[in-house]
Each structure stands twice: as structure tokens, then as C-alpha cells.
Amino acid sequence: MGAKRKLNGKKDNPKKNAGSGDLSRSAIRRQREREYRYQSILKSAETLFAKEGYHKASMEKIADMSEMSVGALYFYFKNKEDLLIQLIDEIGYRVRSVLGSAFKQYGSTLEGFKRAGYAFFEEFCMNHPEKVAILLRESVGNSAEVEKHRKEISEKLTGDVKAALIRVSETQGIRFKSKFSAEVITVSILGIYERVAYHYMFWQDMSEDLKPIGRDAVDFILGGIENHFTEKACT
């Protein structure tokens, strides 16, 4: 997840150019143009899926917003479901990057955990409401293939958070109360973040108040994490 998509199902080969071993200027320009079109299609789909809903948005509308033909869309994507899957993968990568970067800035500490939580609501949710809509709303209840990608993102996020919790435990010399604590905390964190974001961004339409709301949620979670730590580990 996170790697750029292979355009038209084929991997670009930067070494493929008879004689020089490098891409010609025209080849580089074509490659740049293909990447621009690919990103334009994704952005248009993201906007329409979030605004109109995945099922109502059509390939014709996406093509029109992208300022290209419907046929051109099918050069880059097999169908509308393929578009949704690529968006899910890229958005999932973005979430993991935001959380990971914030956590690493403060080392393997509970402060890093708190900052990662703040970053989720303030950097990701508030700045990218369309991405949140697709990840939490429009990707739900679709095909088995879409669900597979949602599950993969969830598993990777769960792995990230659990590993970070274990690092905090090890570096701070503290232990969890039980062998299940790290995983239970991880599942609870992700569930609460998702629920709070969905509730206040889509059900209550309170996105402008998401910063204090998110901080309340994160502080609540931090109290629960600390409650699951027991005495310092023996050295």
C-alpha cells in the first residue's frame, strides 16, 4: 500500500530506451502527463464520491470533471469500483503517514500517542473531509473486493498502533496488565476515533468544532491507556 499505481496495468521501465539507457525527454513528458491525468481522475472521483455518494457518481461525471473522455478513464481504471479501491488505498496510506509522523516526533512515549491522536483529527480529518467521507462512509457496504482493501487498511493501522504501544511499554519500562491489553487498547482507539469523526463530521455536521472534540476523545483514551499499565518492569 502507498506505492504508485502501475498505469494501464504495466510497470513503467525507466531503463527502457534503445541506445541511451535513459528515458527520452518526450518519454518523460508522456510519463508526467499520464501521472497528471491519473491524479486528476482520482481527485475528481474523490470529490464526486464524497459530494454525491459513490453509487450516484458516474464515470461520465468523473470524466467531465477531469476534462477528458470516458474512454480515457478506462485506460487508467477498469471501472468505478477500481477507482474507489485506489482511493481507499491512497487514503489509508495517508492516515498511517499522519499518525506515524506525529508519533515519531515525540519518540516512543505517551505524549507521542497523544500527538498522533490530535494529528488524526486536526491534520487529517479537518483538512481532508472528502477523504474521511470516502474511508468511513462511501467505502462501506460495497463489494467483497472493496471490503478486502478496507480490511487490509484496518489490519495495517491496527498493527501500527499496537506496535507503537509495545514500544512505549518497552522504552518507558512499564508493563500492561494482561497479555490482551495492547490489542484491546488498539482496537478501542481506532474504534473511538472512527466513531467520533463520523458522528461529528457527518451526523452532527460539527466539523468546525472537531479540534476540541478530538482532543477530548484523545485525552479520554490516554486515561484508559494509563489505566492498563501496571508497575514498572523489573530491570
- Could you give the CA distance from residue 161 to residue 174 in angstroms, rounded to a whole number? 17
Q: What is the pTM of this model?
A: 0.83
CATH number at residue 59: 1.10.10.60
Based on the domain organization, do 89 and 61 belong to the same domain? Answer: no
Give mean pLDDT, residues 128-141: 95
The Cα angle at residue 151 between residues 188 and 92, in degrees rounded to 5 = 85
Say yes or no to pLDDT of 8 above 80: no
Based on the domain organization, do 71 and 104 belong to the same domain? Answer: no
Give mean pLDDT, residues 28-43: 90
Say yes or no to pLDDT of 54 above 60: yes
Provide the pLDDT for residue 226.
78
The torsion angle over the Cα atoms of residues 110, 114, 117 and 118, rounded to 10 degrees, is -160
Boundary-marking domain end, from 77, 111, 143: 77
- Could you give the CA distance from residue 114 to residue 93 in angstroms, rounded to a whole number? 20
Based on the domain organization, do 101 and 70 belong to the same domain? Answer: no
Based on the domain organization, do 70 and 123 belong to the same domain? Answer: no
Q: What is the CA radius of gyration of the chain?
A: 21
